[in-house]
Structure 1
Amino acid sequence: MATGGASLYKGSDLIHDYGCSKCEEHDRNTEAQHFCQECEHYLCDNCVKLHNGYHKKHTVYGRGDIQKWAGFALDKCDQHGNKLEVHCDDHQELCCHVCVALNHRQCSSISHLPDLSRDFLKTAEFKQLPVAVDKMRSRLGELTNARLKYQASLTDMYKDILAEIKALRKKMNNILDHLEKKTVKELDSMIKGLETNIKVDIDACTHMHDQLKTMIKKVQQMTGKHKETNSYIGYRRCQDKLDKAEEQMQTMQRKPEPRISFKPDSSLQPFLNNLHVFGSIEKFEILHVYKALDFKTYYVKENDNFRFSIVGICELPSGDLVIANKKNSKVIFLNRQYDVTASCDLPFPPEDLCLISGNEVAISVNDSIRHEVHFINVTRGKLQKVTHSTTVHWCFSVAYHQGRLFVSSGNTLYQYNMDGNIITKIYEDKSIGLTVNRCVLSPDGERIYVTNYLRHKLITLDKTGKVLCSLEDTELENPSGLCISPRGHVFVWGMKSDTVIQVDREGTQKMATLVRKADGLSKPQSLCFSEQTSSLLVGNTRIISVCIQLTSGVRKC
């Protein structure tokens, strides 16, 4: 985008990043310096003076608030503010003349909007737009309400966990109070014992002291004719008492005088110091376990000679479907009523397909010599080939995540960039054929699920290719197909067992059996979870079975 009044030249025409709307009405090409939100007009310095004279209460933004300019008018370019004039068929983008000059000069197909839109008002697509918008608004409203309920539940969860923390703190306080009381009681007992011993010694000293005092007093007060004899007796009695007192004093003096100290439990403080929190605050998800409530069968028809083998199904954001037909080497577009409205030929039979982004689909194809991944755009119900890349190995399955393609060769899983170059070999098992048949990735890309067809296993890998777990089940014979919902629910079908099961996100256990042969399932060849209808689509020959699902229970995961 040019700023600060800068301009671009194309031939003799001056191209501005924002042109004055009023000047354009008079075929004048003038750069806009202002934008009125109420009028949705871009204005030059001259036109803004006239505008402000008529609309004094309107809010007008200058170049300093240029981030507020775009996005108000349907027929204006969001990036440059100019009138939308053409459609780039290569990039599937509406463009103004600045977009073309800056970003689309090398594109091979540019359509003029008046030509492209001729008789469009009569098309079913346009007539269905209000219904599609209402449906999306309804879904957005439901999602908003769900998020509001979740937000309210977060407040409740916070209060509950806070109460648990307070209760734990109270328990800890009670334990500490109890320990303190026991420790103080032990101290009291020890002090009491020492005080008792001291009191015994003090009482003994006092008693001896008083006895000596009384005895010497009596000796000193003797009189009469037996004074001398009695004095001698008193002397001997006093001398014996002195000896006993000396002995008792020495005994007391030899007694130790214990000092008291407190030595904390050596394990207590380090244990508390090592605690960072009272406990871990865990975030966990609720895994919805699905149950099939109803089944509907749709026969895919194009013409009587059209043979079908539906090996891949993917849902577009619009709710329409793209399917891969192996029998006739075609990619087919189905509307939401499961009617065929368009098809596109492939050079070789397809094996699998996946949604890349928006309306772009990748399809893996093979013959005995060539192995390729083709890219197709879906625009207004039409299929248009974009490009393809050739691989040196068989392409049995293709999956996409954040600019990377994951392609299985039958015994190896490769990661490619979008230019068709191998980035790395993620996982390999050459012990037997078809050890890496189909693959899907979790929405966050942290886990990769791979079917081992001949060993009847579902393998779960991390994003580096490390095996996290391996699942076997009697209802998973010759697992051939996989799909995953936007919320990470994993579904696997067994070709020989004629079953579709739901597996937990870790790939460690079966959560539910959704469809069995008794329900009419016969040799399924493809699987797709419809986000639009919360249904599971199962394809085989020319039939798509729609299993209406509902949550029958939830589990912590």
Structure 2
Amino acid sequence: MSMASDVIHDFVCSPCQEEKLNTEAKYFCRDCSKYYCDQCLTFHSKILKQHAVLGYEDVDKWGGRGDTLISCDLHPRKVIELLCEDHAEMCCQLCVSLKHRMCRSISLISDVAKGIHKMADFKQLPSKVAQVITGLNEVREVRKKNQCSLKISGKSMLTKIKDLRKKLNQLLDELEKKTVEQMNIILAYLDDTLQKDIDSCTHIYDQLKALMDTIQAQDKDDEPSSYIGFRKCEKKMSEAKSLLQALSTKPELTATFKPETTITQLLSDFNILGNIQENLEIQIGHELSENKSSKQTINCRVFKTENKSTFNVKIRPDTDVCAIVGITELPTGEIILADKGNDRVKVLNRDYKVIAQCDVPIEPQDICHITGNQVAVAVNWPADVTHEVHFLSVAAGTITMTRKFSVDHDCMSIRHHGDQLYVGSITALYIYTKAGKQVKKILENRSEKQTVINFALNQDGNKIYICNYYEPELLTTDMNGSILATLSDPDISSACGVHVSEDGHVFVCSWHNNTVVQVDQEGKKKLATLVREGDGNYYLRAAWYSPHTGKLVVGGDQDDILVMDLR
């Protein structure tokens, strides 16, 4: 049977194929890796009696040492016998009948393979394969080591994640501790107030009862003694009635806990504790960073103002014009003002109405938020050498002083960062613990001019913006006091207030020019003048950008504050 036959066999006898005959193979020799028909097997068995020959009943075991080499990839039970030069594909008989019937150049592998062992490419094949195998082994080993390093990185990242969780737990424990301390202070204060009223009632009660017992024990014939007792009793009853009237007008003292919802909201905004980067480094974010990669991005947004409004913050006890020297905000949205003109700290609700006030013994100079509902006030009066930091707490619609500490220098401005207090004198800047221990002096100018009248810190705490009152300039320094930038501009003449928002925007108040300007984060150029003298505010001292409302609140030496939308 010639190769021209259309009969397609699963296996073709190898010797017959060499003679260009298409004979079905019924046996396979594992040692020869060849297929045999009945006739060729007889000759094979006579010469190679020791070879292992498999019959058709063991066709699943056919293959031997060369089977995978010569088997067709598309039809594994077929042998590669032909080469389609049109498609540069090696084929079995089935491939040709199905896919290459119309191809013009079909050759026998046995023909094109002649002289293969003498070809240079074939001779170089072992070295080339060895080179590729070496490369594969090297890459495999590198990837195995990479697998190991990934496991180590995973353990390291897991440790960092657990460390972060411990740190968060510690912070929450500390917040709970401070909240309980604040609660105890407020409860103690309220309890002391109630106890004073109880003691007053008890004291008059005991006096009245003792007088009546004495009068009733007197001899009825002793009229002078009875008269004296009568008059004393009337006087004491008058005192008792006055006390009862005073106490009856006092409201019931209550204390409630208002959860800090921003903490829950902040945590709920995060889906995970950090991002797993492809470089295998874990970056903890809102360190979460001090998230944060966004903290490294300079925010260059230039604001414009619109919808300007004024709100009167003068209250009935005020005897002088308000002088708003400091502004801050609680996490719950209440605005806190330091009113130097009336020696008061005032709490405003979201409608900018005064809802609580606390008298400060001597002129407040500045104010800053500490944590939760606690603020700190810088108090200064050189005449009687009073330089103090007062801590005030806002709760249940009231604001009360909880404690204070003294410093041995002027106390003109104050900021809180990293659980430390930064206190500015007229010419120097100091760091204190919240307990009142001085940590260090950052910088000092001995020119006796008001070179550090006010200052602010950026969110990372590595830049300080300082108002130089006697020069139309804003200084930017690092934490060692080294000057990074000096901005001179007519619109910041007599600068006496500077504020850095949560987003890093810098605002500077000019007392002389009645302006508020926005400055770039590098402290090198003015971006915009947001408030001018014609806006109706005079002798501006303080500005605050509210992250809750997107409004800029400005105060100065007058009874109104200016509030405007920024866009």
Q: TM-score, normalised by structure 1?
A: 0.51
User: Which is worse superposed, 458-467 or 296-305?
Assistant: 296-305
Change (3 A) 1:485 1:125: farther
CA distance in 2, matches of 1:387, 1:399: 17
Alignment partner, residue 345 of structure 2:
331
Whether the aligned pair in 1 keeps the contact of 2:298 and 2:521 (CA below 8 Å) is no
Unaligned 5+ runs, structure 2: 1-171, 192-251, 279-294
Q: Does 1:92 align with 2:182?
A: yes
Letter matched to residue 298 of structure 1 = F
Alpha-carbon separation, structure 2, partners of 1:481 and 1:518: 19
Q: Give, in angstroms, the shift of residue 400 of structure 1.
A: 0.9
CA contact (8 A) 1:89 1:110 kept: no
Letter in 2 for 1:311: V
* Letter of the 2:386 counterpart: R
For the Cα contact (< 8 Å) 1:449–1:461, is it kept in 2?
A: yes
**Structure 1 unpaired stretches of 5+:** 1-77, 94-103, 112-121, 156-281, 551-557
Residue of structure 2 aligned with 1:295, choices 301, 304, 308: 308
SS of the equivalent of 2:388 reads: strand
Aligned to 1:215: none
Task: Report SS of the residue matched to 2:304.
Answer: strand
Q: Percent identity?
A: 34
What CA distance in whole angstroms lies between the structure 1 residues aligned with 2:363 and 2:296? 45
Equivalent position of 1:442 in the other structure: 458
What corresponds to 1:115 in structure 2? none
Report the Cα distance in structure 2 between the residues aligned to 1:502 and 1:467, rounded to whole angstroms: 20
Is 1:354 equivalent to 2:354 in the alignment? no
Q: Which of these residues, 300, 304, 321, is aligned with residue 335 of structure 2? A: 321
For the 8 Å contact 2:190–2:253, the answer to whether it is kept is: no
Amino acid corresponding to residue 559 of structure 2 in structure 1: R
The structure-2 alpha-carbon separation of the partners of 1:519 and 1:305, relative to structure 1 and needing over 3 Å to count, comes to closer
Supply the AA of the counterpart residue of 1:544: I
- Is 1:341 aligned to 2:358, yes or no? no
Helix, strand or coil: the match of 2:534? Answer: helix
Shift of residue 301, structure 1, vs aligned partner: 3.4
Q: CA deviation at 1:291?
A: 0.8
Deviation sequence 1:446-472 (CA, Å, 0-9, x none): 101111100121111111211111110
- For the residues of structure 2 that align with 1:339 and 1:399, how far apart are their CA atoms? 25
> Who is 1:380 aligned against?
396
Question: 1:334 Cα shift?
Answer: 1.4
Aligned partner of 1:520 in structure 2 is 536
The answer on 1:544 being equivalent to 2:557 is no
For residues 495 and 283 of structure 1, the distance between their equivalents in structure 2, rounded to whole angstroms, comes to: 32
In structure 1, how many angstroms separate the alpha carbons of the residues matched to 2:449 and 2:297?
38
Relative distance call for 1:401 and 1:140 in structure 2 (3 A) is: closer
Give the letter aligned to residue 427 of structure 2.
N
> Does the aligned pair in 1 maintain the 2:388–2:404 contact within 8 Å?
yes
Output the CA distance in 2 between the equivalents of 1:337 and 1:306.
Answer: 24
Aligned-partner Cα distance in 2 for 1:471–1:88: 40
Residue 491 of structure 2 aligns to a residue whose secondary structure is coil
How far apart are the structure 2 equivalents of 1:502 and 1:491?
A: 5
| CA distance in structure 1 between the aligned counterparts of 2:378 and 2:344, rounded to whole angstroms | 12
State the 1:314 CA deviation: 0.8
Q: CA deviation at 1:519?
A: 2.2
Instruction: Give the alignment of 1:444-463 within 5 angstroms.
Output: 444-463=460-479
**Superposed displacement of residue 478, structure 1:** 0.5
Contact kept in structure 1, 2:367 and 2:377, CA below 8 Å: yes
Q: Whole-Å Cα distance in 2 between the matches of residues 137 and 424 of structure 1?
A: 32
SS at match of 2:378: strand
**Deviation for aligned residue 1:513:** 1.1
Shift of 1:285: 3.4
Q: Distance in 2 between matches of 1:344 and 1:537?
A: 21
- Cα deviation for residue 137 of structure 1 reads 11
**2:386 and 2:486 mapped to 1: Cα distance?**
32
1:324 shift after superposition: 1.1
Q: Which residue of 1 aligns with 2:440?
A: 424
TM-score by length of 2: 0.50
Change (3 A) 1:125 1:512: farther
State whether residues 306 and 328 of structure 1, in contact with CA within 8 Å, keep that contact through their aligned partners in structure 2. Answer: yes
Query: Quick check: 1:89–1:109 contact (8 Å CA) kept in 2?
Result: no
Tell me by how many angstroms 1:90 deviates.
6.5
Residues 416 and 289 of structure 1: CA distance in aligned 2, closer, same or farther (over 3 Å)? same
| 8 Å Cα contact 2:299-2:504 kept in structure 1 | no
Task: Give yes or no for contact 2:498–2:508 (8 Å, CA) kept in 1.
Answer: yes
Quick one: which amino acid aligns to residue 393 of structure 1? H
Distance in 2 (CA, whole Å) between partners of 1:325 and 1:488 is 26
Q: Distance in 1 between matches of 2:319 and 2:398?
A: 19
SS at match of 1:465: coil
Offset of residue 520 of structure 1: 2.1
- What displacement does 1:303 show? 0.9
User: How far apart, in 2, do the equivalents of 1:444 and 1:283 lie?
Assistant: 9
Aligned counterparts of 2:553 and 2:352: Cα–Cα separation in 1: 11
Residue identity opposite 2:334 in structure 1? D
Q: How much has 1:381 moved relative to structure 2? A: 2.0
Q: Is the 8 A contact 2:497 2:541 kept in 1?
A: yes
Aligned match of 1:483 in 494, 499, 513?
499
Give the match for residue 498 of structure 1.
Answer: 514
Task: Name the count of aligned residue pairs.
Answer: 313
